[in-house]
Amino acid sequence: MAKSPEEEHPQKAFGWAAKDSSGLLSPFHFSRRETGDGDVTIKILYCGICHSDLHNVKNEWGFTMYPVVPGHEIVGTVTKTGKNVKKFKVGDRVGVGVLVDSCKRCESCQQDLENYCPQMVLTYNSYSQDGTKTYGGYSDIVVVDEHYVLRFPENLPPDAGAPLLCAGITVYSPMKYYGMTEPGKHLGVAGLGGLGHVAVKIGKAFGLKVTVISTSPKKEDEAINRLGADSFLVSSDPAKMKAAINTLDYIIDTVSAVHPLAPLISLLKLNGKLITLGLPEKPLELPIFPLVLGRKLVGGSDVGGIKETQEMLDFCAEHGIASDIELIKMGDINMAMERLAKSDVKYRFVIDVANSLSQ
């Protein structure tokens, strides 16, 4: 008979899990594997709340395996190291993002693109190589192969820096890959949430002009005065949208729900690029005529590899980029999920795990 989550491994662990598609989270006892020769065990300090966590707890993508402990924006301290570990020592400040394992042999892994490995193991709601389920960062400890652990720069705040481990790399990687970093070019950021507000900051650090395209007029002042965007478009304002047609070189689309792509594509200039990062539960409609007539490109991108994630953390540390966060206690998690569903967060919730996870 299969062992219970609490008994399958030797290290006791405690976190909060969703147990069904109501998405409500509650306390959950489980266990973590022994610290293997190449592993580090990490005491979790902070964990960001990504919209993917919300999609997952509510089974919006249809593949949630309950109970699910979400969380893939993890910052913590190394408490144990296996005997072959070279990158880290006990006491180091580290990060863990969306993936915790991959095959290390395929074409993607060989190119430092473990995030596209067909055997990639996600930080939660996935199966480890030993066949047991992975559980994420809304919990006290995690055990990870050191290859998938990031050095967390000293001058990045551990709470506000945590969201970079998913939101940060998810917007940084396509900007690099699709050549969206040429200073002076004009970037549109659709959706000003966790991913979107980091895209604004990283876009400005690359020297781009940045326009936010949002459904929330009340975010305008902060987008410009706090986050540094150059301009703000409310997508439901037809006059302003019309005036902005043909003005953007690139768009990063972070919208989490089904939405029309046609208005975004029309904002692009000739040869413009629209990169979709949001993962709505249903397909979007893609109008072909404006793509063909303007030689435009629509692409996608999934987080980033470990090497590039380290590069992104170092880039953010150098440019003083972190997330704007609302720090919450673990007990407030269900309220935070409710607000996230309404796009009511400035601009990422981060759980103060170490100070609020009591059994």
Name the site residues for ligand NAP (rule: CB under 6 A): 50-52, 55, 166, 170, 191-196, 214-216, 219, 254-257, 259, 277-279, 301-303, 340, 343
3-state SS of the chain is CCCCCCCCCCEEEEEEEECCCCCCEEEEEEEECCCCCCEEEEEEEEEEECHHHHHHHCCCCCCCCCCECCCCCEEEEEEEECCCCCCCCCCCEEEECCEEECCCCCHHHHCCCHHHCCCCEECCCCECCCCCECCCCCECEEEEEHHHEEECCCCCCHHHHHHHHCHHHHHHHHHHHCCCCCCCCEEEEECCCHHHHHHHHHHHHCCCEEEEEECCHHHHHHHHHCCCCCEEEECCCHHHHHHCCCCEEEEEECCCCCCCCHHHHHHEEEEEEEEECCCCCCCCCCCCHHHHHCCCEEEECCCCCHHHHHHHHHHHHHHCCCCCEEEECHHHHHHHHHHHHCCCCCCEEEECHHHHCCC
CB of residue 264 vs ligand NAP: minimum separation in angstroms? Answer: 10
Is residue 52 at the binding interface for Zn ion, with CB under 5 A as the rule?
yes
Shortest reach from residue 278's CB to Zn ion, in Å: 11
Query: Which of ligand NAP, Zn ion, none does residue 55 bind (CB under 5 to 8 Å by kind)?
Result: ligand NAP
Identity of the residue, 68 or 85, whose beta carbon is nearer to Zn ion in the bound complex: 68
Give the shortest CB-219-to-Zn ion separation in angstroms.
20
Output 150 or 267, the one with its CB closest to Zn ion.
150
Residue selected from 69, 166, 268, 316 as contacting Zn ion according to rule CB under 5 A: 166
255 binds, among Zn ion, ligand NAP, none (CB under 5 to 8 A by kind): ligand NAP
Q: Which does 188 bind (CB under 5 to 8 A by kind): ligand NAP, Zn ion, none?
A: none
State which residue has the least CB distance to ligand NAP: 193
Nearer to ligand NAP, 9 or 197 (CB): 197
**Which of 13, 45, 50, 74 is close enough to bind Zn ion by CB under 5 A?**
50
Nearer to ligand NAP (CB atom), residue 280 or residue 294: 280
Q: 13 or 180: whose CB is closer to ligand NAP?
A: 180
Listed ranges 159-167, 215-223, 253-261, 330-338: which one lies at the site for Zn ion (CB under 5 A): 159-167
Closest to 352 in 3D by CA, of 118, 75, 117: 75
Q: Which residue is nearest to Zn ion (CB)?
A: 50
Region from 4-12, 49-57, 178-186, 249-257 binding Zn ion, contact rule CB under 5 A: 49-57
Residues that bind Zn ion (CB under 5 A): 50, 52, 166
